[in-house]
């Protein structure tokens, strides 16, 4: 069964460093998303991406964040200068449009 894959599973970084989280969505999906979850709490929407551009973003997704689909396969989330409060589980998801999202296993980011 096709699945969304995410790397790395865990990244530890120093405050102020840049981080790139990578995702490979399901191959025939058209919409891509990043969500984050802090300490097993609420799952918060960050950004959605369709047709090589951002379609929606939340207030969390400020200028420190960016997304890219560099090669038609990977979908990346970059945090330019990490802050302590960026520590969270980041989930990538994809779907074909309407209907359920398919989530990856997540990338745990720890900012020290």
Partner 1 sequence: AQSVAQPEDQVNVAEGNPLTVKCTYSVSGNPYLFWYVQYPNRGLQFLLKYITGDNLVKGSYGFEAEFNKSQTSFHLKKPSALVSDSALYFCAVRPNSGNTPLVFGKGTRLSVIA
Among 12, 15, 38, 43, the residue binding partner 1 under the rule CB under 8 A is 43
Among 1, 53, 62, 98, the residue binding partner 1 under the rule CB under 8 A is 98
CB of 103 to partner 1, least distance (A): 4
Position 25 contacts partner 1 (CB under 8 A): no
- Return left, alpha or beta for 47; rule: phi > 0 is left, psi -120 to 50 is alpha, else beta: beta
Whole-number Å distance between alpha carbons of 79 and 37: 15
Q: Which of 21, 38, 10 is nearest to 80 (CA)?
A: 21
49 contacts: CB under 8 Å, gap ≥ 6: 31, 32, 33, 55, 67, 69, 75
CB of 11 to partner 1, least distance (A): 15
Q: Are 7 and 25 in contact (CB under 8 A)?
A: no
Among 17, 55, 73, 81, the residue binding partner 1 under the rule CB under 8 A is 55
Position 100 contacts partner 1 (CB under 8 A): yes
Among 26, 88, 104, 111, the residue binding partner 1 under the rule CB under 8 A is 104
- What tokens does 106 get? 């997540």
The residues binding partner 1 (CB under 8 A) are: 4, 31, 33, 35, 40-45, 48, 50, 55-56, 91, 93, 97-106
């Amino acid at each position: 069964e096709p699945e969304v894959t995410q790397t790395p599973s865990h990244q530890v970084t120093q405050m102020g460093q840049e981080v790139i989280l990578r995702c490979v969505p399901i191959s025939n999906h058209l919409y891509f998303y990043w969500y984050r979850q802090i300490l097993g709490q609420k799952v918060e929407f960050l950004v959605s991406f369709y047709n090589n551009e951002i379609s929606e973003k939340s207030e969390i997704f400020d200028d420190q964040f960016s997304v890219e689909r560099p090669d038609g396969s990977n979908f990346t989330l970059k945090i330019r200068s990490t802050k302590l409060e960026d520590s969270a589980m980041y989930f990538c998801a994809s779907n074909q449009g309407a209907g359920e999202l398919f989530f990856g296993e997540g990338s745990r980011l720890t900012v020290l």
